[in-house]
Structure 1
């Protein structure tokens, strides 16, 4: 859906991806998760001060965005060009990451109340 950002973010992985749909999906997922979750992790280390609530809202937003990206990635894995076994493997890996991210978000949400 966003070819320019797709190209820019995945270009560094071109030698690994080559023509592999599996490597392409893995790289795309890694890029997606790294942006949102690294930002959240860094913010969690600095929750002191009067702007605690604002920081928590930002963290919740970033982790929620990571979950949405995982869902979008799962929706995008389809079509007849990809082997069903590879597709199933990718889906199970994405589902596992989504479950772990969802658990983390639940803990983060508890901190803000």
Structure 2
């Protein structure tokens, strides 16, 4: 009798756990890709926050890298619009953001047309180079605002820092994709 009672209690205790694990099992792989990929990104919290909505659409590391570049591109465009509306300083910064838009657009096109074969290494190298160049543009953008103090510089710094962080995460995911294509863990 006591054994039967213990067995029933054990089954009751384990049932919700088994139900939860089986309920999420079908949903988990795509969201797990985002979680697994973002855990070692330069800015993991930002990576998870900005890419979690792509979980259903990003079923491969390549899809996720493309999503990260799209996020970066959207942030660069918003920052560029903000900078172009400022009345003080930053003309070089606006130009650099324009260059970043171009470089990230080329990166996205390269990732969308990425194919295994002879050109794969060359395409990956180009994508990594373009995202690195966009990141450099973002890092040097604030130079035009050195003479400006106060809220404007603070707002610019916040926007550019945010752009640099999502771009850094995009570069990480592209490098991860490259590493996986070479069979590296």
TM-score range, shorter chain: 0.7 to 0.9
2:108 pairs, out of 16, 19, 41, with: 41
So what's the TM-score if we normalise by structure 2?
0.46
- Alignment of 1:93 with 2:159, yes or no, is yes
So what's the TM-score if we normalise by structure 1?
0.73
2:131 pairs, out of 43, 63, 80, with: 63
In 1, Cα distance between equivalents of 2:105 and 2:137 = 14
- In structure 1, runs of 5+ residues without a counterpart are 1-16
Structure exhibiting the larger radius of gyration computed from Cα positions: 2
Matched position secondary structure for 1:21:
coil
User: Structure 1 residue 33: deviation in Å?
Assistant: 1.6
- In structure 2, runs of 5+ residues without a counterpart are 1-83, 180-185
The residue aligned with 2:174 is: 108
In 2, Cα distance between equivalents of 1:94 and 1:40 = 20
2:110 touches 2:127 (CA, 8 Å); kept in 1?
A: yes
The residue aligned with 1:21 is: 88
In 2, Cα distance between equivalents of 1:19 and 1:100 = 23
1:52 pairs, out of 120, 140, 157, with: 120
Distance 1:38 1:69, change over 3 A: same
The residue aligned with 1:14 is: none
